[in-house]
Structure 1
Amino acid sequence: VSPLPSSPRGVGAMEIVAMDMKVSGMYIARQLSFTGVTFRIEEIPLDQQYKIVYNKAAKLWAEALMVFQQAADWIGLESRKSLWGQFWSAHQRFFKYLCIAAKVRRLVELAKEELAKDKCIVIGLQSTGEARTREVLDENDGHLNCFVSAAEGVFLSLIQKHFPSTKRKREKGTGIKRKRKQRGRCPKALKGVCDPVGVIKISDDSSTDSDMGLDSDFNSSPESVFETDDVIFVEHTYNGFAAEDRGSFHLLPSQKEMHSLRELEHVEKMKQDLLAKVKALGKELPLNTLDELINHFGGPEHVAEMTGRKGRVVCRPDGSVMFESRAEQGLSIDHESHSPFPLVFSLPQLVAIISEASSSGISLQADRRVKNQKRRVHMTLELPWSADRAIQQFGRTHRSNQVSAPEYVFLISELAGERRFASIVAKRLESLGALTHGDRRATESRDLSKYNFENKYGAKALDRVLSTILNHTENRVPVPKGYDRGEAAFFHEMKQGLISVGICCNQMKYGTVAVEKDCSITKFLNRILGLEVDKQNMLFQYFSDTFDYLIEKDKKEGKYDMGILDLAPGVDEIYEESKEVFLTPGHPQDGQVVFYKISVDRGLKWEEAYEKSLKLTGSFDGFYLSYKTRGCKHTCLLAEQSRGKNFILYKPNIGKQSQPESLDSLQKKYRRVLPEEAKEHWESSYHFSLKKCNHAVWNRSCKLIQEGKECFQGMRLRHYYMLCGALLRVWSKIASIMADITNTSYLQIVRLKTKEKKKQVGIKIPESCVRKVLEELKQMDENVKRKHNQ
């Protein structure tokens, strides 16, 4: 296979390579057909009570960020990388739990609707929240009398284990392992050199990766301390310099010792106050999702749980709550999770919950060999971090020998930050589809692709958004329409929000606000989870609008890689007018490419337009006629409301218009009419535009046609030229020809299905390049034939 050009082509290159290898018979990517499988995304609105709790949590995390920073400053903590790693990891997990909890009520409603339709439910999760349940169980000596909140546990654990008051200020040069012998534990050391106020006890669950050795000039402590406790030493500083930087050692004045003690007491008080606030919030936080789901569906006897956890919290018939071991229920966890046909979907168990632990190997499809053959509805409550795991989990309900294909339902809340979880899976699924099918849309990403922001446009959009908010640089994207307090207020509010989640930070030295280094799309989407709901959604909307604007700009300039583009989606009138076959050189064998001329009738017949109009329900939907006439003719169209106040327009000569129209623009140029009045104008335009351009309609003649050139503007019948076959062998030469003529070497891959039901996938050749491309292909063909004849 000839090498691809050196410029990175991303997913598009994967498609081309996979297609070429399949054409050459070198590559087979077997995958179960998705025929009969349905996909849908349920976007779930948040109720007002949930928003209140979420906003409280966001404010408390913003406060926790400030408290952690202050505490680290008070004790002079120098190396803070580990601290902030733990903080933001907990931050992400906390809000992930809240995102999942927001969808539980709606999931239960949907599941009950599907059960009423005589179907079975599979609910996909990744985490079980067992760790927090175990912690509470240990704290209460093995007893539990209530359901546990996993989100609260994450927050409490962060403060208890990683608050700066229990971390040793690391020395300079941290990260280089000291080879010298540890000192400071010698019982013969001089007494009185270090007072016990410089010692803090470490709780059993604290963790520190700094060693306990002290420098020779500050190397002792009372023996009793060393004999009885694990300790941590806080090095006192004068004017920012540690003891070892001050030269000769001298005893600390007692008032300094007292000041140091007060500092430590103050930091400890900050910690306890923060813990108290988290515990108060914990009373309102949602409970463990898995336990809550099982409880909603009637308890363990009605739900088949296939997870790796060893125990669960259940509600007894008398209303009391207790912890029970799953191993006591008759089957071992390993047996239940890994048997080929587990004992699920046997009445009354029509609901199964699977986690990452049971996402491979297990068969939950409507198999012909099992008694229960009801259609499976696979609901994904929590998307996994990688596409591989997503495919594995989806594959549990879609396998060979099934009676019916499953339905997939992706539950995504209206929280903007949750797009992060869909984004990473969408990106990976695109790559997977490109490699296995030669089409990035061949996998489930056709439903998730709108959530994929991890590409060059996402990075550009983020850079522009942050620059606009912080530096007030010009951005042509207006603030979201739902925000009514003006542009200046929007940018000020968003700046404060970005500071509260650590994306931006105040630079005291310069009195400015700067963006945190290495702020990627992933980090941005992770962090904005910590903003209040409305603020989060507004910021994400502004980012999303900027993202769409950049893509639209590149599309207009012809720079956008749209992958395999449907040449005429929804149009059946496609005719193959001619084709020419050319041989291409290759190793180990020669290949061939086929040059097609395709005719596409884009027009929309009156009967189809009228039938479509009958299904429209919007107050502004229907037929419209232009106020102005051109060439004594009114322009007629059919308008269908899409999102917000934008309308999709259908015209008799070109069918569906690619650009949506706003309601204001529509009403300025057109008036709404009844179908009876529109019919004559529609049919007239449809018939006249078959082989005549708009200029001929408006002016009765076209200057380009009179000059002997071609004009296709507004014409129903369009000609396209496609090159199919072993594309990689001719790729660089075709790209070179196009670069000379059109100033761009980008080749658009297109797909279509002709009226004769033939499917074609290939490169679209612009009309201006057809002559040169054919000359090159003929020359290549002659060279191959000459080589064969020798």
Structure 2
Amino acid sequence: LRIIASSRLRTIHHNLEAALTATGVNDVSGQTNASAAKASAKSRFESTKQRFFNHLLMGMKARTVIRAIENDLAEGFACVIQVVSTGESLLKRRLEAMDPEDELVEGALTPRDYVLSYLEQAFPIHAQKLVEIDGNVVAEPLRDANGALVVSREALALRDAAMMELMALAPIPAALDQILWAFGDEVVAEVTGRSVRPLKSSDGALFIEKRSASSNSAETRAFMDGEKDILIFSDAGGTGRSYHAAQTAKNQKRRRHYLLEPGWRADAAIQGLGRTHRSAQVSAPFFRVCTSDVHGEKRFTSTIARRLDQLGALTKGQRETGSQGMFREEDNLESPIARGALRGYYADLAAGRAGAMSYEQFTDWTALRLIDQDGVLLEELPPIQRFLNRVLALPIHMQNALFAEFMTRIADQTERARAAGTLDLGVETLRGEKIEQVSGEDLWTCPRSGAVTRIIGLEVTDPVHVLPAEEALDRNPDKLPMINRASGRAALISSRPMQMYDEEIVTLMRKVTRPSGSNYVEEGRFANSAWEEIKPPEFLRLWDEEADSLPKTTTTKLYLLTGLLLPIWKDIPSGNERIYRVTPEGRGSMIGRTVSEDGAAALRARFMVGTPKTSQDMLTAALGSTAPVDLGRGLTLTRRRVAGAARLEIDGADKGAIEGLKAVGCFTEIIAFQLRVFVPHGEGVDTVAILARIVGEGSPTAAERAA
């Protein structure tokens, strides 16, 4: 049914584009003559489609929820189901259109009526004519001699064809009605805003029951008194009522709270969850978030996850408190990381590097354009909300294939951000097999308040978890087993590069997974490297040999800044802005911001030692902070991220100085049409010696000359 519905919506997409051309809203090349008319038709369709699939998914999940409720009732639980949509507007429209003598049937109460209403009322069938206004050619509705709008026969035929296809869809009633019909209104208490509802008689015939304003109070009382063991509530029933296992209630069975439909409002979702979780309760509820294996449903969970994060940040100062642990960071598909991953995925789709489908298939099914007539990626690409809406209408196998690739990119970008320390996760708990405090000293004292900033040295010991070679292969089907002939080590490397956006710089990258961890390599460096593909038996042997040689535990030294941080926040190295809660062995709990050993050395140099004077001090200060370090002669050294890697860049060099810097070991690159100078840094490079040649050990710096 889901595949058939997707096919019907695809037909409407194509017919809509054809109708826009037939009516004159678009010209034959696809350019619009009436942007307002086109935007109205498309926006109405997208919102209608969204409501249609939301109701369809809720209805399709109802059968599984009903089976789960049956099991809960048999085990002695009381069930509470939280929804947003009641389908009352759909029911009322159907009743108004029906002849009083007609019999109401299940097929008349389905979400396809939303799309049918759109086709009848908003599908573009009226012809347009081109007129010139203030030198601009625009389209306006064409009228006949009597002033009536002229209907395009071609557009009308397209609309009728779409309606005929949609009418062939099998009916799926609303989830609320399905649950009521399955258990009966004598078992189910309904606390919603509906004034009428369809019920089933003993012979299976549908009839309409009117609900009074006092129905919700009576239904709540029946549930709390144990007369009914199931309660369904909507937004109208999520305010001012309690459904928990109260000590004063007759119904003290443990609640099973089903979040069947979270809706779009985070505050209402949280308020609804609080209906079954109150003080003075006999037992806490068991929450169940109801979702499906249709990846397009992430369109709905993504928005509520983002808004729950925002609500948590506003109400408790921590984003993760808003979602109560029910949604993960990855569920928020509207984050900056997700937007960057989507832009990279668009580029891969347009270039034919995506494995899920070709660019032609993507545009055919989603009607989204990513490139212009010259084959260049558009500057204004479809936003993530539009992408999610269009993917929602794809057949399930296409959705899952697209989302698998998209989610892989999000996971990779998240992993890179976490490794770089730029992933904002709120207050995290630092975990380890063993955490010891090895040092503690005062870094800075506020001259006004006397408050102190302390720097605490920590050693964190963790076990090393290495996947066996066969499991690593199974978990990375998109990567190739390879060997580096220079080092003799094996790794799993992405079979094709992916585009990544790092500080607005587009880079083709491949992910390299080794027994000791993962990293990323630029496509250009990979192409010129010694990596070669190998057969699985050789890979298994090399991987397991390296895995066996790794230590069983690793000890990491880091520093925690605690106490007064805001006045010196800009001076703290920005490589890692994560906030941790730490409880070292034998010590009390502390909260602070972590810095690396180099970062701690840079802070000591700034606040406890003074301006770095030697080349070693300058290197330490530069690596530990993004603040520029004075090298003298108008030159500064700054740590920056370029194409995903940390580099040391020299600023302030004129044309003459650049040649001298290259002579002592520096190198240059042209990035974004700008010549930039870098100091080599990394394994096998004596960066201190290069800096010593630049500044000359013992020569006065600009700060000393100014003093």
TM-score range (shorter-chain normalised) is: 0.5 to 0.7
Corresponding residue SS for 2:79: strand
Partner of 1:300: 185
1:273 aligns with 2:157: no
- Deviation of 1:268 after TM superposition, in Å, equals 3.0
Corresponding residue SS for 2:357: helix
User: Is residue 378–residue 408 contact of structure 1 (8 Å, CA) maintained in 2?
Assistant: yes
Partner of 1:356: 235
| TM-score, length basis structure 2 | 0.67
Counterpart code for 1:768: D
- The equivalences for 1:227-306 within 5 A come to 232-234=148-150, 264-281=152-169, 284-296=170-182, 298-306=183-191
Partner of 1:191: none
- The equivalences for 1:485-500 within 5 A come to 487=355, 490-492=356-358, 495-500=360-365
Corresponding residue SS for 1:598: strand
1:388 aligns with 2:270: no
Partner of 2:104: 145
User: Is residue 576–residue 595 contact of structure 2 (8 Å, CA) maintained in 1?
Assistant: no
Partners of 1:358 and 1:81 in 2: CA distance: 36
* Equivalent in 717, 720, 723 of residue 558 of structure 2: 720
Partners of 2:44 and 2:62 in 1: CA distance: 28
User: Is residue 312–residue 319 contact of structure 2 (8 Å, CA) maintained in 1?
Assistant: yes
- Deviation of 1:517 after TM superposition, in Å, equals 4.9
1:521 aligns with 2:409: no
- The equivalences for 1:575-590 within 5 A come to 575-581=436-442, 584-585=445-446, 589-590=449-450
- Deviation of 1:498 after TM superposition, in Å, equals 3.5
Partners of 1:437 and 1:382 in 2: CA distance: 24
Partner of 1:759: 589
- Deviation of 1:357 after TM superposition, in Å, equals 2.0
User: Is residue 497–residue 535 contact of structure 1 (8 Å, CA) maintained in 2?
Assistant: no
| TM-score, length basis structure 1 | 0.61
Identical aligned residues as a percent: 26
Partners of 1:749 and 1:730 in 2: CA distance: 15
Partner of 1:250: none
- Deviation of 1:127 after TM superposition, in Å, equals 0.8
Task: Figure out how many residues of one structure are paired with residues of the other and give that number.
Answer: 536
- Deviation of 1:314 after TM superposition, in Å, equals 1.0
The superposition leaves residues 238-261 of structure 1 with CA deviations (integer Å, 9 ceiling, x where unpaired) of xxxxxxxxxxxxxxxxxxxxxxxx
- The equivalences for 1:290-439 within 5 A come to 290-296=176-182, 298-327=183-212, 332-333=214-215, 335=217, 342-439=221-318
Relative to 1, partners in 2 of residues 1:278 and 1:173: Cα closer, same or farther, differing over 3 Å?
farther
Partners of 2:339 and 2:38 in 1: CA distance: 27
Partner of 1:536: 399
- The equivalences for 1:205-244 within 5 A come to 221=146, 232-234=148-150
Partners of 2:286 and 2:446 in 1: CA distance: 46
- Deviation of 1:597 after TM superposition, in Å, equals 2.3
1:668 aligns with 2:537: no
* Equivalent in 451, 467, 479 of residue 591 of structure 1: 451
Partners of 1:334 and 1:319 in 2: CA distance: 25
Counterpart code for 1:309: R
Corresponding residue SS for 1:412: coil
Counterpart code for 1:232: A
User: Is residue 133–residue 150 contact of structure 1 (8 Å, CA) maintained in 2?
Assistant: no
Relative to 1, partners in 2 of residues 1:422 and 1:541: Cα closer, same or farther, differing over 3 Å?
same
Partners of 2:289 and 2:272 in 1: CA distance: 13
Partners of 1:530 and 1:138 in 2: CA distance: 30
Partner of 2:498: none
- Deviation of 1:99 after TM superposition, in Å, equals 1.7
User: Is residue 584–residue 729 contact of structure 1 (8 Å, CA) maintained in 2?
Assistant: no
Partners of 1:313 and 1:126 in 2: CA distance: 17
User: Is residue 224–residue 249 contact of structure 2 (8 Å, CA) maintained in 1?
Assistant: no
1:455 aligns with 2:343: no
Point out which structure has higher relative CO (alpha carbons under 8 A, 6+ apart).
1
* CA-atom RMSD in angstroms: 4.0
Counterpart code for 2:116: L
Relative to 1, partners in 2 of residues 1:457 and 1:671: Cα closer, same or farther, differing over 3 Å?
closer
- Deviation of 1:460 after TM superposition, in Å, equals 1.6
Relative to 1, partners in 2 of residues 1:750 and 1:601: Cα closer, same or farther, differing over 3 Å?
same
Partners of 2:348 and 2:8 in 1: CA distance: 27
Counterpart code for 2:287: Y
The superposition leaves residues 105-164 of structure 1 with CA deviations (integer Å, 9 ceiling, x where unpaired) of 221222222223322111111111111111221122355432243311111111111122
Relative to 1, partners in 2 of residues 1:753 and 1:158: Cα closer, same or farther, differing over 3 Å?
same
Relative to 1, partners in 2 of residues 1:577 and 1:264: Cα closer, same or farther, differing over 3 Å?
closer
- Deviation of 1:288 after TM superposition, in Å, equals 1.8
- The equivalences for 1:543-692 within 5 A come to 543-569=406-432, 571=433, 573-581=434-442, 584-585=445-446, 589-603=449-463, 667-669=540-542
Partner of 1:69: 17
Relative to 1, partners in 2 of residues 1:315 and 1:395: Cα closer, same or farther, differing over 3 Å?
same
Counterpart code for 1:428: R
User: Is residue 310–residue 322 contact of structure 2 (8 Å, CA) maintained in 1?
Assistant: no
Counterpart code for 1:529: L
- Deviation of 1:560 after TM superposition, in Å, equals 4.0
- Deviation of 1:170 after TM superposition, in Å, equals 9.5
- The equivalences for 1:170-185 within 5 A come to none
Partners of 1:62 and 1:537 in 2: CA distance: 17
Corresponding residue SS for 1:444: coil
The superposition leaves residues 524-557 of structure 1 with CA deviations (integer Å, 9 ceiling, x where unpaired) of 1111011111011101111111222223344455
Corresponding residue SS for 2:245: coil
Relative to 1, partners in 2 of residues 1:432 and 1:135: Cα closer, same or farther, differing over 3 Å?
closer
- Deviation of 1:417 after TM superposition, in Å, equals 0.9
Partners of 2:242 and 2:206 in 1: CA distance: 32
Partner of 1:28: none
User: Is residue 596–residue 723 contact of structure 1 (8 Å, CA) maintained in 2?
Assistant: yes
Partners of 2:581 and 2:214 in 1: CA distance: 51
- Higher-Rg structure is 1
- Deviation of 1:295 after TM superposition, in Å, equals 1.3
Relative to 1, partners in 2 of residues 1:289 and 1:563: Cα closer, same or farther, differing over 3 Å?
same
Corresponding residue SS for 1:730: helix
Counterpart code for 1:668: R
User: Is residue 120–residue 345 contact of structure 1 (8 Å, CA) maintained in 2?
Assistant: no
Partners of 1:459 and 1:535 in 2: CA distance: 21
- Deviation of 1:578 after TM superposition, in Å, equals 3.9
Relative to 1, partners in 2 of residues 1:121 and 1:753: Cα closer, same or farther, differing over 3 Å?
farther
Partners of 2:69 and 2:194 in 1: CA distance: 23
The superposition leaves residues 349-378 of structure 1 with CA deviations (integer Å, 9 ceiling, x where unpaired) of 111111122222221122222121222221
- Deviation of 1:336 after TM superposition, in Å, equals 5.2
Relative to 1, partners in 2 of residues 1:664 and 1:726: Cα closer, same or farther, differing over 3 Å?
farther
User: Is residue 504–residue 514 contact of structure 1 (8 Å, CA) maintained in 2?
Assistant: no
User: Is residue 76–residue 253 contact of structure 2 (8 Å, CA) maintained in 1?
Assistant: yes
Partners of 2:556 and 2:69 in 1: CA distance: 48
